Amino acid sequence: MSRFFTTFIYLWFFVLCCLFCLWVLSAFLVGDAEPELAILLFPFGFRIGLVLHCPKKYWLAVYSAEWTLLAALFRFYLHIEWIYLFAASFVSLSILSFAYDYYKGNQWNRLRVIGLVIIVVSFSNSFCYLLFYDDFSISFLCSVTGSLILVPSCYLIWSYFFQSSWRSLTVDTTHIPSNSNNRPFFLYLIIFISSIVAQINLPHELQQFAPFCLAIPIVFLAFYYGWQGALLATLFNSLALIAIQETLGLSMTNLFLLLSAQTLMGLLLGVVIQRQRDLNTQLSQELNRNQKLAKQLVKSEEVVRRDIARELHDEIGQNVTAIRIQASLLQRVSCVLTMHHYAQKIEKLSLNIYDTTRGLLNQLRPKALDDLGLEEAIRQLVSDLEFGSQQIETSINYTVEDKYLNDTLSATLFRICQELLNNIIKYANASKVSISVFQKMAGCEHKYYLIITDNGIGFKEEDKRHGHGLRGIQERVQALGGNFTITSRNAFQKEGAILKIELPFI
């Protein structure tokens, strides 16, 4: 508890100092005409960014520091209606409390929430301003400008310090080379300084086009670093615009419009570039994965062909040779008993050929799958694996109509079920096995599911990574656009495993 109060006091003092400094800068930009607008510019924007990235238990420190600043300013500007600022502060508390629950996930979701919060809070600030003043546009412009500059900046700082993976500096890490590339940043500084010099030295008739020179550094950093680089460029450009506003002869409204426009343009440009870059990276990863899957499929095909060739050579070839020898001997003998003996050997060898051929054909394409359908093929598989004779209780729940299944789906589900049931027989040491095959509608398409559970000994995580059979199943499912998950229930102090296959309609 003492740690909480210490953090609370430090945070309150830090926020109060930051808000006061930002108000001084805002008051310089706004001027003495309307000092209450200075609160809407940078202090309120900083508060939004700070609250979104701060635990709720510390919100009181942030808001109490803001209310302290408002109360102190009220003593110096008694003629100003400060009530609307307190009202806007209280209204923003409910808005941010609602948005805070959705402010999570990846950076794209967070940026969307930031954009919506800036718009909603700016409107609420402007409506509160309308209670005592008539100008809605200038209050909205102040709120949007300060929020666009400071809220993404707070997110950038928060993500850098709290979302990045930091490695401890030890003796083992000193030899690792740094990946920093300062060349784009130095090039940006050269372009930035050149644009400032150009703006200052342009002829008077071209002064209106001077701010557009600042777009060049934004595009440059956005290309290299995405929206983060664009944001940094807009911050530098904002400082430059503030510093040379008198040289350019910019009014307060034009300055705020330029700040908002260049910040919004930079962020949107950076988001588009980074989004495109992320999509290209994902596409490259998918292409690499598809290449690996194609190689694995070719390898699997060659393995199957090699196994079939070995069976044909070792089993069928030897049996056919033995039959020829037995038939040749049968032609040379006249004893009935000897003839009967050779005839039995020929019959036995013929049965071996039949069994071997049947096994190879079943390996290539299960006959039960074509004759009886997937459900009966699974039941036949359970019977062939002799689950009953091994005292393994099996339950099958099949709720898919075969008319909705094609050959690819049926064969894939059967092969996966065959591999998983073989693994259960070999390794699980289970006494109960449950097999469920069903389908669901996901949006506008059918999804097919195969779930197999057992009460065996489970498995370790490294067994899942090193198992060739499970890896082959995962690659086959991914190649068809499905999902494969396998979990051991040992983590919950129970026995067994759960294997779930999800396949789209192919």
Summarised one tens digit per residue, pLDDT across range 469-492 is 677 777 778 777 788 888 876 544
pLDDT, position 117: 92
pLDDT at 340: 65
pLDDT, tens digit (0-9, with 9 covering 90-100), for 289-310? 777 776 666 566 666 666 766 6
Same domain, 6 and 137: yes
Residue 468: its pLDDT value, please? 57
Specify the pLDDT at position 110.
Answer: 86
Amino acid 137 reads S
pLDDT computed for residue 2 by the predictor: 76
Question: Pick the residue with more confidence: 491 or 70?
Answer: 70
Domain-embedded: residue 469: yes
Question: What 3-state class would DSSP assign to 332?
Answer: helix
- Domain presence at residue 177: no
Report d(CA 217, CA 235) in Å as an integer: 11
Same domain? 259 vs 140: yes
- Shared domain for 100 and 26, answered yes or no, is yes
Same domain, 384 and 356: no
The answer on pLDDT for 44 being more than 80 is yes
pLDDT at 499 over 70: yes
Same domain, yes or no, for 468 and 402?
Answer: yes
- What mean pLDDT is reported for the chain? 77
Token pair for 214: 């600042």
Q: Say yes or no: 320 and 189 in one domain.
A: no
Q: What is the CATH number of the domain that holds 471?
A: 3.30.565.10
Q: Using an 8 Å Cβ cutoff, are 249 and 207 in contact?
A: yes
Q: What percent of the chain has pLDDT over 90?
A: 4
Whole-angstrom distance, CA of residue 365 vs CA of residue 356: 14
Looking at the fold, whether 226 and 123 belong to one and the same domain comes out as: yes
pTM of this prediction? 0.60
Lowest mean pLDDT among 35-49, 126-140, 284-298, 327-341: 327-341
Query: Looking at the 3D structure of the chain, how many domains does it have?
Result: 3
Q: Which of 176-185, 213-222, 279-288, 430-439 is predicted with the least confidence, judged by mean pLDDT?
A: 176-185
Q: Which domain holds residue 86?
A: 2-162+182-281
pLDDT band at 223 (very low <50, low <70, confident <90, very high): confident
Does residue 92 lie within any of the structural domains? yes
Task: Name the nearest CA neighbour of 36 among 95, 88, 92.
Answer: 88
Q: What local confidence, expressed as pLDDT, does residue 480 receive?
A: 76
Contacts of 406 (CB under 8 A, 6+ apart): 506
